[in-house]
Amino acid sequence: MVVVFSIGLTLLLSLWTSTTSHQIPEGVLQMECRDRYFMIAVNLSFTGEDPQFEVVDEMGAYPITESYGAQHGYTVRILLSQGLVELRASFFSHHTSSQDDLLFTFSFNLIVSRDGENVKFPLYKTCSPTLTWAPREVTCEANYMEVYTYATSEWQVALKRPGQLMIPINISEASRRGYEFHLTEGRLAFRTPYGQPDSFVAPVNGVPVEVVHAILFSRQGWIIIKVDLLAACSMRKYQNGRFNGQLFQ
């Protein structure tokens, strides 16, 4: 009887220690739904100065590096003045799941260093957009441009630059070149990091704007559907203003 009791107590104790060591204290973590993205903010005094994030889906976990984030729809910023690290994930980010574009689920790990070891905190957030979707929307994030529109199935894409011949490529080839297309049940998102080889600068009201013009073709039986996706973001938006080696102030 005594033996059984002490085993029970040990088990209880070890369960207790393992859960408490993996809990995030109250008030440290904020997870919010914004119009078109998830906003996660964590107190730097909890994470330390070099917090890492991984996106998670049913296939695995993917570290959010600078280039991975720009291509797949994630933005990580350290906000020193506010003492926060902020992670923003587009509703159409690569590993976010969508149910009819009405409910989006974003799963991720927060990884912090404790005594030289990485500790992972698995987290998730669901959001239902309250703003209705416009037929076409453009988002200018800190590290990428994104366009959403209505969509259907198999696509070929051509990236159009003024005065140049367009050569259609398939979606996987486009993704290899850094252009990301993401198809949910009812919507197509197109995302590109800034400064891609097929983007160009055009002045709009005297302001230099970075433009990417993708044209999507889909053959459905005898019909060819064409979707024009034009992303244009003001070049004043991003910090270094570097574009194809030229510097814009």
Which residues from 120-159 bind ligand NAG, rule CB under 6 A? none
Question: How far is residue 118's CA from residue 98's CA, in Å, rounded to a whole number?
Answer: 30
Query: Considering the rule CB under 6 A, would residue 218 count as an interface residue with ligand NAG?
Result: no
Q: What is the dihedral of CA 199, 201, 202, 205, to 10 degrees?
A: 130
Nearest approach in angstroms of CB 100 to ligand NAG is 26
DSSP code for 174:
H
Query: Considering the rule CB under 6 A, would residue 84 count as an interface residue with ligand NAG?
Result: yes
Measuring CA to CA, which residue among 196, 218, 209, 90 is closest to residue 147? 90
Q: Is the CB of 81 or the CB of 249 nearer to ligand NAG?
A: 81
Q: Is 113 exposed, middle or buried (0-12, 13-18, 19+ CB in 10 A)?
A: middle
Which residues from 154-183 bind ligand NAG, rule CB under 6 A? 170, 172-173
Q: Is the CB of 111 or the CB of 169 nearer to ligand NAG?
A: 169
Which residues from 34-53 bind ligand NAG, rule CB under 6 A? 43, 45
Query: Considering the rule CB under 6 A, would residue 82 count as an interface residue with ligand NAG?
Result: yes
Nearest approach in angstroms of CB 48 to ligand NAG is 12
Question: How far is residue 63's CA from residue 85's CA, in Å, rounded to a whole number?
Answer: 16
> Which residues of this protein are in contact with ligand NAG, per CB under 6 A?
43, 45, 82-84, 170, 172-173
